[in-house]
Structure formats: structure tokens, C-alpha cells
Amino acid sequence: MATVVLGRLVFLSTACGGNSATDVSVPEEDGDILVLANRGDPPVKFDTMRTSSIALHHVAGALFGPGNLVMRSRGNMYLVSPYLAKSWYSNPNFTEWTFILRQDVLWHDGTPFTPGDVKFWFELAVFGTKIGDKMRAPAYFKGDLGEIEMVEVIPPDQVRIKLKTPNRFFPDVLANPRLKIAHPKHLMEPLLLKGEVSVAPSDIGLIGLGPFMFDSYEPGSIIRLRRFDRYFEYDSKADRLPYLDGIDYIITPDPMAMDIAFRTERLDGTARGFGHYLTEKRRHGYLESLGDDVFFAQMEGGTFRLAFNILKPGPWQDGRVRRAIALWIDKHLSIPAVLGGFGWTSPDISPNNPYKDRKFVVWPRFDLAPLEEKRAEAKRLMEKAGYASGFTMGYLCRAKQVLGGQFLKAQLAGLGIDLQLQIVDEGEWNRARVSLDYDTQSGSLSVLPIPEGTEGVYGRFSKNPNSYSKHEDTEVDRYYITLKNATTYDRRVEVWRNLQKYLFVDQTYIIPIAEMTYVVAYRTYVKGLVIPPEDGHTYTDFTAVWLDKEGQ
């Protein structure tokens, strides 16, 4: 299931066999600086506990590493491989998970990575901390981790994580590349104890665990990372990784400026991130300029959606109104209007990802009646709810995704709804999307590739502040408990289908509109890339990449 663009896949060796070695072509010598565009300056002081923004995570893969204790396998992202932990096991009812750590992992300042670092990270992420009268909030992804009761260090090299409820897919959740361990205990804990509860990775020198270490950062201009010579991974020929001497990330907020820089040979690769992923028109321009000197990585992306804040008073608290909006939107029109021509929606199921188990991809099968019929039903529901003349509704609109807001505003005008676009910058977006201040929003994260890992974005707001829809529906809790307790494949499929119907149809907390296809350009001399079939946050470490400019 590996998807590789140009060059044969370099599987990386681990102490527990996770990514199997194979006979591959590798560079004769290390060297070169990979130059990539980055969508913007990393927000919230490079703190991976505070944001899932690709402006950080495009850089964070190389700086902090591609995974957590475990990672998505480079050979198949739907499998879990060892990373900072070399092996793991659970108790019979999946309420305790024990991880045995590698003992050759160093922080970039040379300090050994220990079980104490793991305990510190999990407790900071799940519980936050209180020092005197100062509070540090838990991580935005707290809900993804489930209900952790305690984290126990078992000397010399083990960590046991105890859960309040069973979760046999806990390693799959941890493999989410957004959950990076970027908070060294030996550097952050002393500052926390002094009351500096907002301390972030940039405050302690951006000391990470990844294949590249921090060199310099000029805000608005460039981030420079350089090879960490003591990184723990090796290739199949026992050569230490990474191959590159470093990576330069050029801060390029304007996609058109990025296009010009790439087409004039000042970049080796374009940025990841919505707004910077290529449209059909821009891709054609690249081909016209560069021909065989460019290739395109294509990934199934996140969902363009509309999610309601049920906890804020307004007409959208009426399920008939939410249902009417879902029926009214012309989903197919969003593909050229919002997604740049790359994407899919009902009734199709992703043409770009043949590896995903399609029995779990359910939402495109909802609402398949002709648009005229759906819109007539939408009008009837609005009248029945008492809103035949429409109403005004706010929409939290990320500045980088204004096309989506404009599309929804134009669409809902036909239903009599005046959608007020509240356009915000990245700082306000990262604050506001986990608040109750706005009527509706798009949501941010892509859904994890397993049903059990989606509670962080579909679950109740009090448990999952990063949830798309803000609700406190305990029936959703019940569905997730049932899903996690399912012991057969058929039962998992059944529960997941029922849950999606409940979320998207019965309650219409969320309206999935269309699925994005992400397109990134690279120069053909960039070798060893591993391109995920979905989720552009995956494989941003570039550990096995090298440049072959002489062979071009």
C-alpha cells in the first residue's frame, strides 16, 4: 500500500522491526539543502499542543519527528509502526497500554529521552497544570487521547498508560502525526514550576527529537533546520539518517508568490496547506513552464464542511433548520468554486485513495435525491420551523479559506439565510475554533483514518473542545462506547454507519460538503519522498529524502 513518487521507497530500520528493511536505491553521499515553501509563520510559538495548523506541522515533522511513541508506517499509513517506543502491549481488556521505549533517542541538546519525558508530556496534554493561581489548559487534542486515568513510569524504559474506558485502538490514535512530543521535561518543567504556564517550544530553543534540529528563524522570511547527526533511525544499509544536510522553509503566505518562486527554480517543493495546494489551473501553469522537471504528489484531503454551534442560541438550534441547510447546498458546485477543481462528493467515494476500506466511508451515500427535490424539502422544513423568511447567522471564516465562506454565503442566500462571514487571522482562528463565540464554522482537523479516532472532532464539546460542532449530546458518547467495544469487523461497520447517520442526517450537527484532493509540486530531482494517500500532515519529516540534481 505504499505510495511513492519518484524513486523507490526507503524503508527505515527500527529496533523492533516496525518499518521493514528492503533493498532500495539510496544516495551515495549525504548532502544538500531541501528548499520548501511554508504557508506561513508557525503559530502559537511552535506549540504542537495548541494548534494543528499545517504552517507548524509542515515544519514540525522534521523538527519534532513524524510520530509519537508510535507512528504511521511509512510503508502503509493505515498500519502502526514503532517510533519512540520499540514495542507495546495491552492488558486483556485494553484499559492499560505499556510501551517499551527505545534507549538511543536524544533530544537535540544531547539529553536522553526518558520515560519521564513521556509521563510529563501526557500529563501536560491531558490534565494541563496549575501553579499557584495560574492555569495551563490541556492540549486541544485531549479528547483524541480518551479518558486517561494515570501515566506510570516503570524503570528503566517503560511507560504504562491507564485508561478509564477500554480502547483497543489506542496506538492508532497515538500514530496521528499531529500528536508530536515537543516538550522536553528537563527544559520545560523548571519554567512551569516558576509559574510560566504558557511556556512553549520556542521559549526553550525549539529542542526536539526529529531528524533535523533548529538552526535559525526569521519571522516572515525563513526557518532553517539542519541535520541532527545523532538521530536514531538508520536505513536498510545501516547508514544513519537523515540524508539531507538540512531544510529551508521559505515563509510564503501568498500562493501566487509561491508559484512564481517554484516556476523560477527557487523552490524544490511547494507548501502543504489549504489555499496553497494547487488548483487545476495552477497545476497546468506548472506543467507549461517546467514540463518533465516537475511532478505532483496527490493526497486525499480533509472535508469542506459546515458545523453548527448548538450551544449558542439561534435558529440553528432547531434540527429542522440544520437539516434544511444540508439539503439546500449544491455540493457538486463546491468542487470548482472552493476546491480548485480537485475533489469529490456524493455519491462518489474517493477516486484518489484505493487503499481505504470503503465500507467505512459512508457520508457520500446520504441525500442522493435530485437537488430540486432536496431544495423543495428544505423550503418546507424552514417554513415548518417558522423561518420561511430566513434569518441571520454568523460563520467563523479562516482568512485562508475565505472561498469556502463566500460559497456558503451565496448558497444560503437562496434559502433566505444571511450568512455573516466573520473573517479572522490565524491567531484568532486557533482561539475561536475551540470557543463558543461563533454560530457556525468549518472545523479544522482532518478526521483520523479510523472511526474510533474521530471522537475528538465529533464528540461533546466539554470533552473535545476542538470538535467541529459544539454540542453536549450524550448519545454520541454512547455510540463511541459501543464502537470501541465492538469485537467484530461487521459490528464496527454497523455502528460507524449508524453514528455517521446520526451526526450528519438525524441531528445534522455537521454537514460534509465535499472532500478535498491535495496537490503538491516537487522538482523531479527530489528523491525518496513518501506520499500519504490521505492527510497532508503525514510524512512531513523528510527523513529519507535526498536531492539528485546531477541525475536530472
Of the candidates 542, 544, 535, 545, the one whose C-alpha atom is nearest the C-alpha of residue 52 is: 535
Of the candidates 88, 107, 233, 103, the one whose C-alpha atom is nearest the C-alpha of residue 159 is: 88
Contact between 541 and 76 under an 8 Å Cβ cutoff? The reply is no
| Domain 301-516 in the same topology as domain 33-268+525-547 | no
- Mean pLDDT score, 39-58: 95
- Mean pLDDT score, 196-213: 97
pLDDT of residue 427: 83
pLDDT above 90: residue 11: no
pLDDT above 50: residue 263: yes
What's the mean pLDDT when you consider all of the chain?
A: 91
Tens-digit pLDDT profile for residues 95-113: 999 999 999 999 999 999 9
Phi, psi of 58 (to 5 degrees): -65, -35
Q: Is 306 helix (H, G, I), strand (E, B) or coil?
A: strand
How many angstroms separate the CA atoms of 211 and 494, rounded? Answer: 41
Q: What is the largest CA-CA distance in the chain?
A: 72
Query: Which grid cell is 323?
Result: 437539516
pLDDT above 50: residue 295: yes
- pLDDT tier for residue 36 given thresholds of 50, 70 and 90: very high
CATH for the 301-516 domain, from 3.40.710.10, 3.20.20.80, 3.10.105.10, 3.10.20.30:
3.10.105.10
Give the chain's count of helices (H) and strands (E).
14, 20
Contact between 350 and 361 under an 8 Å Cβ cutoff? The reply is yes
pLDDT of residue 13: 37
In this prediction the pTM is 0.84
pLDDT above 50: residue 400: yes
- Mean pLDDT score, 493-500: 96
Of the candidates 138, 147, 186, 150, the one whose C-alpha atom is nearest the C-alpha of residue 165 is: 147
Residue with the three cell numbers 530553543: 205
Tens-digit pLDDT profile for residues 418-436: 999 999 998 898 889 989 9
pLDDT of residue 219: 97
Residue ranges covered by each domain of the chain: 33-268+525-547, 301-516
pLDDT of residue 302: 82
- Mean pLDDT score, 332-359: 86
Query: Which grid cell is 514?
Result: 465535499
- Residue 63, C-beta contacts closer than 8 angstroms, at least 6 positions apart: 46, 182, 206, 208, 210, 212, 213, 214, 225
Percentage of the chain modeled with pLDDT above 90: 78
- pLDDT tier for residue 10 given thresholds of 50, 70 and 90: very low
Write out the H or E segment, with its range, that includes residue 284: helix 280-290
- Mean pLDDT score, 278-294: 94
Tell me the sheet residues that pair with 225.
214, 247
Contact between 308 and 368 under an 8 Å Cβ cutoff? The reply is no
- Mean pLDDT score, 406-426: 96
Task: State how far the alpha carbon of 395 is from the alpha carbons of 75, 408, 411, 429, in Å.
Answer: 40, 9, 13, 12
pLDDT of residue 447: 62
Strands 246-251 vs 33-38: parallel, antiparallel or unpaired = parallel
Q: Which superfamily, per CATH, for 33-268+525-547?
A: Periplasmic binding protein-like II (3.40.190.10)
How many angstroms separate the CA atoms of 8 and 31, rounded? Answer: 19
Task: State how far the alpha carbon of 515 is from the alpha carbons of 298, 477, 526, in Å.
Answer: 13, 26, 28
Query: Which grid cell is 320?
Result: 429542522
